[in-house]
Structure 1
Amino acid sequence: MKTFKANLPMLRAATLLCLAIVLCTCGRAQEETLPQTSEELQEALRTRRGELRELTKEVEELEARLAEVDPSFAPNATLVAYETIGTANFDNFAEVQATVRAAETAMATPEIPGRILRMNFEAGDPIRKGQLVAVLDVEGTETQRAELETAASLAKTVYERQQKLWEQNIGSELQYLEAKNNYERIQQQLKAIDIQANKRNVYAPLSGTVDQVMLRTGETAAPGTPILSIISTNDLQIVADAPESLLSKVKLRENVGVRVPALGIEFRAPVTRIGRTVDPANRTFEVEVDVPQQYISQLKANLLAEVEVLNFQADDIIVVSQDYIQQEVDGQRYVFVAEEEDGDLVARKTYVTTGQSYNNRAIIESGLEVGARLITNGARGLTDGQPIALSQSPLQQPADAKISSTNG
C-alpha cells in the first residue's frame, strides 16, 4: 500500500498522459474531417479545451473520492503564505508626455541688410540684455552719407546767399524758399542716414543663454532674419499636451506630479496655465507647470518629461498584486484563498473581476471580501480543494497604492 501511495504522482501523470494520447489519436483520426475556415477552427479549439477541462475535473474528482475511501492516499498539505485582504485609499494618475521649455525665448535680428563683420557669441554663451551681438558692414551707407554731406554743404551756401538777397529785396521769394527747403531736406536725409548707420550694431533683446547661432561672420544678414536665438535660463516650464478627456481633471494651481526620466528627477508643482483651445489635429490642450528654482540648474530646455494628472480617487478599495491573479484559457481570472473545511485548511479557487491596475497591482471589483486569506506564495500549481498549511509569517497588504488608467 505504501508503495502504491508513493507511486500516486506517477499514476496521475500516466493518467493525464493517456488522456492526452487518446485526444491526439482521436484528433488524427478526424484530421481529414477537421474544418478549415478560421471560424470553424476556433470553434473546434474551444471544444477541445472544454473537453480537456472536463477530463481534468474528472481526474480531480476521482482523486478526491479515492482520498475519502482510503485516507492514506490523501495528498500531503502544501505550505503556502497568505495575506489578509483589507481596504485602502487609491489614486489613479493619467500620465501625459511633456517637454521642458524656457519660459522666455527671443531672436536677435538686424533692422538693415548687410554683411556680418563680427559675431561676438557662440551657442551656449551667457548673454545679457543690451550686449552687442554682431556688427554689420554698412559701407554703402557711409558712401551715401559722404555724398549727402557734400550736397548739404552746397545747399547751405545757396540757402545763406538767397537769404541775404531776400533780406535786401533782391530776387524772388520763390527762389529763397526753394533754397531753404532743399537745405532742410538734405539735413533730414543726413539724420536718416545716421539712424541707419547706428543700426549696424545688433543688440541682445533678452538676458539668458545663446541657444543657437544662425549666421556666422562673413554671411549676409537681411532685415528680420534671426542671427541667433536666446533662451532665458532663469525660468523653465514643463509643457504637456493633455488629451481633452482630462479637461475636467486638470485644475489651475493644483499640484501635479512631474518626472524627468533622463535625470531621475521627480517633483510636484502647481499648474500655472491651462490652454484655452483644443488642438483640432490631435485633440489635446496645453498645460504648463513652472519648474521650482531648486531644479532649474539641473534641467535643460527640450528635455522629455512626464506629467501625472489625478484622474480618479476612491476610498476603501480592495487591491492585490497581479502576481497572485491567474487566468483560465477562456480569460476568466481567479485567485486562491485559504478556507477551513471540516477542521482542515484547503485552497479554494475564487473567480474575481479586476479593475484598474498600476505597478503590478490591480483593483478587485468582485469576488473577494475583506478578511479573506489570499494565498500568495505557493499559489501557482494549486488545485481547488487541495489541502494546505499556512505559513506563520503572513504577508501584509500595503496601505496605499496608485492605480493607473489601464484596465486589467
Structure 2
Amino acid sequence: MKSTIYTRLTVIAIAGVLAACSAATPDDKKAQLEQLKKQEKDISKQIQQLESEIAQENPDSTTVVKSKEVTVAELALRKFDHYVKTQGSVDAEDNILVSAKSPGVVTAVYIKEGQQVSKGQVLAQIDNSVIIRSIEAQKSQLELAKTVFERQKNLWDQKIGTEVQYLQAKTNKESLEKQLESLNEQNDMTRIKAPISGTVDDVAIKIGENIAPGMPAVRVVNTSDLKLIANVSEAYVTAIKKGNSAVISIPELKKEITAKVTFVGKTIDPLSRTFPVEIKLPADGDLRPNMTGILKVIFHTEPSTIVVPVNVVQELNKEKIVFVAETNGKQTVARKRVVTVEGVYDNLAQVNGLKAGEKIITFGYQGLNDGQVIKI
C-alpha cells in the first residue's frame, strides 16, 4: 500500500514538473524554480501526513517511519504579571536653585560644591556696609529716644508735664524701633541662606560678582528624598493607579528597586499622548538626580495560569496554535492545540487552551503537522 502511495505521489510530482516546464517560457527559469519548490514542499507535507497515518493504523508494523527530533517542556501553573514598561529619570523632591533676595556685590562665599549644609545656614554674603552704618546710626537715635521716653514717662506718672509730651516721646521711640527692625530685615536679605538641608550641587557665584534677585547663585539638593518621574502611554490611563507595584531598574548601578506608584497624572499631554507617573524611591546614597531608570508598573497579576514562550505560538489559518507532544501507542506524535493569548510580557505569553502537565514542543516546532511522529 505504501509503495502505491509513493508511486502516486511520484506521478503527481512528475506531472507537476512537466506542467511547469510546458507552461513557462525557456527564459522564465525563476518562475519554474519557484513553482517546483512549492510543489516539493506540498509533497513533503503529504508524505509526512501519510507516514503518520500509517503509523497510527499499524503501530506494530516493522516499517520505519521517519520522525522529527524536538525538545519539550512540561507546563505548570505559575504567577504572571501584566505590566507597562517605560523609561524615566530620578528627580529630587527638594532640588532648589537658591537666588539672592537683594542686589549687590558678593563679598563672601562660605561653601563649596559637595558640602553638606543645614536649613538656614548662610551660604554667601552680599555687600551690606551701607546698611550696617544705617543700623548703627539708628541704634544711637533709638537709645536717645528710649531715654527721653523713660524720663517723660516718669514725669507723667507723677502728673508732671502734658500727656502730649508723653505720647510724642512714646511714638518717637516706637517709630525708631520699627525702623531698626526694617533695617535688620534688609541686612538679613543680604545673606544667601540654604532653604533646605542637603548637599551643595552647584555654586554659580564668585566673590566680587554683581548679583540680583532671580539670578542663580547656589543649587542645594536633598538626595534623601528622591522620586522617579516617567510618562506612560494614554492606552494605560485606566489601568495605572496610585498604589500599583513598580519595579525600577537603574542600569548605571546595576540594581533593581521595588516600590509603589505614588502619583498618577490626570492630564494627557497633547503632543506625546502620555500622562505622568511618579514613584517615591527609598533612601539610597548611590542614587543621583537625573539618573535614568527603566520602570515597570504592574497593573494586573494572574496568581495561577499557563505561560509559554511567545515564539512557540504560531498562527495558522487565522488561529493561534501550539504543538504538544502526545504518546500514541509506541510512538510520540505532535498534536495541535488552538490557544488564545491573554497577554505577552518579557517574551512570555499567557494562554488559554493548555493544561498543566502537558508537554509543549519548544524546539523543532516549525513545519510540524498534527499527528506527525516526533522524537524527544
Structure 2 CA distance for partners of 1:362 and 1:95, relative to 1, 3 Å: same
Deviation at residue 302 of structure 1 after TM alignment:
1.8
Structure 2 residue 49 is the aligned partner of structure 1 residue 61: no
User: Is the Cα–Cα contact under 8 Å of residues 244 and 278 in structure 1 kept in the other structure?
Assistant: no
Structure 2 residue 318 is the aligned partner of structure 1 residue 318: no
Deviations 1:56-79 (A, max 9, x none): 23343256658969x887443344
CA–CA distance in structure 1, aligned partners of residues 302 and 214 of structure 2: 55
CA–CA distance in structure 2, aligned partners of residues 221 and 21 of structure 1: 92
Structure 2 residue 344 is the aligned partner of structure 1 residue 357: yes
User: Is the Cα–Cα contact under 8 Å of residues 249 and 309 in structure 1 kept in the other structure?
Assistant: no
Structure 2 residue 373 is the aligned partner of structure 1 residue 387: yes
Match of 2:224 among 207, 229, 234: 234
Match of 2:278 among 268, 272, 288: 288
User: Is the Cα–Cα contact under 8 Å of residues 234 and 268 in structure 2 kept in the other structure?
Assistant: no
Structure 2 CA distance for partners of 1:26 and 1:109, relative to 1, 3 Å: same
Q: Which residue identity does 1:58 align to in structure 2?
A: I
SS at 1:58 equivalent? helix
Deviation at residue 322 of structure 1 after TM alignment:
2.9
Match of 2:200 among 202, 210, 221: 210
Match of 1:274 among 263, 271, 286: 263
Q: What is the match of residue 161 of structure 2?
A: none
Deviations 1:332-388 (A, max 9, x none): 65443334456433334555544422232223344x455543223443465554432
User: Is the Cα–Cα contact under 8 Å of residues 105 and 232 in structure 1 kept in the other structure?
Assistant: yes
Structure 2 CA distance for partners of 1:217 and 1:275, relative to 1, 3 Å: farther
SS at 2:186 equivalent? helix
Structure 2 CA distance for partners of 1:145 and 1:270, relative to 1, 3 Å: closer
User: Is the Cα–Cα contact under 8 Å of residues 152 and 187 in structure 1 kept in the other structure?
Assistant: no
Deviation at residue 242 of structure 1 after TM alignment:
3.8
User: Is the Cα–Cα contact under 8 Å of residues 249 and 310 in structure 1 kept in the other structure?
Assistant: no
Consecutive unaligned residues of structure 1, counting only runs of 5 or more, are: 1-7, 35-47, 164-176, 391-408
User: Is the Cα–Cα contact under 8 Å of residues 107 and 205 in structure 1 kept in the other structure?
Assistant: no
When normalised by structure 2's length, the TM-score is 0.68
When normalised by structure 1's length, the TM-score is 0.64
For these two proteins, the number of residue pairs brought into alignment is 340
Match of 1:347 among 322, 334, 355: 334
Q: Which residue identity does 1:106 align to in structure 2?
A: I
Deviation at residue 113 of structure 1 after TM alignment:
0.7
CA–CA distance in structure 2, aligned partners of residues 212 and 250 of structure 1: 36
**Which residues in structure 2 correspond to 1:98-117 (within 5 Å)?**
98-117=88-107
Match of 2:289 among 301, 310, 313: 301
CA–CA distance in structure 1, aligned partners of residues 18 and 370 of structure 2: 21
Structure 2 CA distance for partners of 1:135 and 1:342, relative to 1, 3 Å: closer
User: Is the Cα–Cα contact under 8 Å of residues 80 and 305 in structure 2 kept in the other structure?
Assistant: yes
Structure 2 residue 80 is the aligned partner of structure 1 residue 90: yes
**Which residues in structure 2 correspond to 1:115-134 (within 5 Å)?**
115-134=105-124
Consecutive unaligned residues of structure 2, counting only runs of 5 or more, are: 1-5, 56-60, 153-166
Backbone CA RMSD of aligned residues:
4.9
CA–CA distance in structure 1, aligned partners of residues 184 and 369 of structure 2: 96
